[in-house]
Amino acid sequence: MYDMTKIKERYWLIKLRTGKVLNIEVPKLKVLKRITKLSKVADTNNMTEEDMENLISALSIALSRNKEQFKVSEQWIEENININDVQDILNKYFEWVSNIQNLKN
């Protein structure tokens, strides 16, 4: 019998510029699809306002799924994180998700 309760929980540890430390949870498939869709930008050198809003929404969703139950709102991101950091964090987030898909439980 395959016992899903025995699967080791994995977290992505991130320390934000504000000093806040979060343990980000592995996303459910529905959440990952939504984050992936929102984070697609055709031209990163010529982003529209809608592109920026979508990236901020994607990051809010990704970071809000944390062990500390800290809600990372879009407003919080706009006030505390710059656009370069938004892109960098999302890139690292997707690298982490890709890496955990390749690990054995």
CATH number of 4-101: 3.30.2220
Element (H, E) at 96: helix 83-101
Delimit the domains of the chain by residue range: 4-101
- The mean pLDDT value of the chain amounts to 91
Say what the pLDDT of residue 104 is: 60
Say what the pLDDT of residue 59 is: 96
pLDDT of residue 8 exceeding 90, the answer is no
Say what the pLDDT of residue 5 is: 83
| pTM given for the model | 0.87
From 9, 6, 40, select the one nearest 26 (Cα to Cα): 9
32-73 per-position pLDDT tens digit: 999 999 998 867 778 899 999 999 999 999 999 999 999 999
